[in-house]
Each structure stands twice: as structure tokens, then as C-alpha cells.
Chain A
Amino acid sequence: MSTPMDMARFHALLDAYGASPARWPEAERAAAEALMAVNPMARAARRQALPFDAMLDTLTPPPLPVDLAARIMAAMPDRQPVPVPAAANSNVRSWPMALALAASAAIGLWVGIAAGPLTGNATAGDLASLDQQEVVALAFGPLAENGVYGDE
């Protein structure tokens, strides 16, 4: 509920902003209109302010030159086009990259776990003593019974 407005303030509004409620400060508009609704002097004061507004409103600007926008466009310096920042488009394209990163992390974790019992305490000497088949088995799990190395 806004504070009731007195006639002095109502006159001050008319003097500064004119007769149209749309131009009055938003915070005071309701109070001013409430005053007009109950006070004939307020309504009369507004009526007296209308002709001056009408006179000011006769001022019409010249038409916008039809070629002004084109002239401004032509005067624009070049700027190398760059990709629009993600925020200007949408974030729908970011999930494949996140998925790829997550998959890489999962593979790395799995390799680490698979090699866990040895690599946890392994030294360079331990690893050097393993043959190629053992290293592969540590990294990728046990080989098939009949062997992946075929002819070996």
C-alpha cells in the first residue's frame, strides 16, 4: 500500500513530468492516481497540464535516413570471425568431450587396478626382470588358454 499523496507533491509531479501518468515515477504513480480518483482539484490540475504536453508532443523527429544503417555497416572495421563462446550458443555440445574424458579416466583406472598387486611395490628392477608376456598380462589381463602369440 503506497503512502497517500498530497496536492503539493501532485503539482510537483505535473511540473516535472507532465500530465501523463505513464511518465510519472513508477513508485508514486499509484498514489497519484488514487489522489485523482478522489480529489477534483487534482483532476483539474491534470487537465490544465494537458495542453502544454500536447504542444511539446508536436515536436516530431526527422525520419531516419534509409541508408544510414547501410552506411554504418560499411564503416565497420573487419574483425576476424571467431567461434561464438559456448555461453552464446548452448551447452549441448560439451557432453561428448566430457564423456571421452570420463572414458579415458575409467580405462586408466582399470589398468591401474589390473596391475595393482605388483605395481604397488614394483621397482624398476622388478619390471626389468619380467618378460614381455608377463608385462602384457599385467596390463591387459590373462591371455587366452591357447595364447595370443600364436607361433611363439
Chain B
Amino acid sequence: MQDTASDDTDTTLIRKLAAGDRTAFATLLSRHLPVIHRLGWRLLGEPTEAEDVAQEAFLKLWNFAPDWRDEGASPRTWLYRVAFNLCQDRLRRRRVVFVETVPEVPTDPSDAPGAAMMEAERNARVKGALDALPERQRAALVLSYYEGLSQAEAAAIMEIGEEALESLLARGRRKLRELLAADGRELLGEMT
């Protein structure tokens, strides 16, 4: 009986995955599924699509494991990169179909009571503004600000230089300020 200890490194788990060890796969899922799902949701704005992307990314990992070569990239970074690319593919397809669609606030908080309603409203406004950003700016903000990846990691996933990443981040934040300007004073007032 193979023992997949929870303190195995990700790279060890990948080798076990290559050998068909489903328990190793379950351990990798428990470690990385929440962040990959969250990344998909932040980039795509749709919970269902985020689930699909997470599933596709992990199945790719399962299928790729026998060919895994330890060349410095961690399984976590590999998953981020694959999920990011899957999201980009979906966004490209969306552009073709919904080229004229204006992003909408994704939830209707009107039926939520009291403080929960206010929180849902803030969440929805920020989400709407984030979704309205140009894709590259949103991707930079999601990877760097929200996911907390290092500059080198985020830039590598986006296949750009660190200076270009910083430029996207600055422009993205400036655009967000503009988009939230109307709501900003009110939102900040509610928070203090």
C-alpha cells in the first residue's frame, strides 16, 4: 500500500501521480483547487466557468504527470499557468461572441438584508469594475494583487517582462479608480 503523506512535496506527489496514485491526486487537489478555482472566478467572473477551468487544469495535470520533468517550475506555478491560459482561451471565445456586450454587475444585492446587503453591494461594484478592465490589466491585478504572486511569477505566467507587468498594474489600478470613482466616496464611507 502506497503511503501518500500529506507532507509530501508537490514534486513527489507528481511522481506518484505518474504512477497512477489517485491519493496523490487528491492531496494535490486539496492543496491547490481553492486557488485555481478562485483564479478562474476572478479572471472570468463566472463561478460555473471557474469550476470548468479548475477541472480542466487538474485533468491536464493528471495526464501530463508521466511526462513531468523537474525543470524548476513548481506544480503550483504550472497549474497557475495552465489555468491562466485556459481562462485566456475562454475570454478570446467570448470576445468573438459578445464583442459588444458591456460588463454588468454580476449580482443583484437588493434582496440581501442590512450589513450583508451593503457588503454584497460593495463586492458587486468592485467585481463589476474589475470585470470592466482590459483583460491584460485585469490579469496582472488578479495574479499580482489578489493572488499575491511575486513579480517574477506573475510576469512569467503572462509571458511578459516585469517592467511590462508593473505598467499593466499601474494602468489597471488607475482605471479601477476611475471606474469606482462615482461609488468610491460612498463605498469608503460605508467601510469607515
B is bound to A = yes
In the assembled complex, A4 has its CB within 8 A of some CB on chain B: no
Docked complex Cα distance between A93 and B173 (Å):
56
* A69 pairs with B173, CB closer than 8 A: no
A16-B170, A26-B150, A56-B126 given; A62·B47 CB < 8 A = yes
* B191 pairs with A84, CB closer than 8 A: no
* A71 pairs with B191, CB closer than 8 A: no
A16-B173, A55-B180, A64-B34 given; A69·B19 CB < 8 A = no
* A72 pairs with B20, CB closer than 8 A: no
Select B30's contact among A23, A69, A76, A82, beta carbons within 8 Å: A69
Report the interface size class on chain B.
Answer: 35 or more
A54-B191, A62-B41, A76-B62 given; A71·B19 CB < 8 A = no
In the assembled complex, A95 has its CB within 8 A of some CB on chain B: no
Cβ distance B130 to chain A, nearest Cβ, rounded Å:
7
Write out the residue numbers on chain B whose beta carbons fall within 8 Å of the beta carbon of A69.
26, 29-30, 33
Specify which of A18, A72, A82, A83 lies most central, judged by the most chain B CB atoms within 10 Å of its CB.
A72
Docked complex Cα distance between A15 and B170 (Å):
5
Query: Considering the complex, which residues of chain A in the window 3-23 have a beta carbon less than 8 Å from any beta carbon of chain B?
Result: 12, 15-18, 22-23
Query: Considering the complex, which residues of chain B in the window 156-185 have a beta carbon less than 8 Å from any beta carbon of chain A?
Result: 162, 166-167, 169-170, 173-174, 176-177, 180, 184
* B19 pairs with A76, CB closer than 8 A: no
Chain B residues with CB under 8 Å of chain A are 2, 12, 15-16, 18-22, 25-26, 29-30, 33-34, 37-38, 41-42, 47, 51, 54-55, 58-59, 62-63, 119, 122-123, 126-127, 130, 144-146, 148, 150-151, 162, 166-167, 169-170, 173-174, 176-177, 180, 184, 187-188, 191
What are 5 pairs between A and B in contact, CB < 8 Å? A12-B170, A15-B173, A17-B144, A65-B47, A79-B62
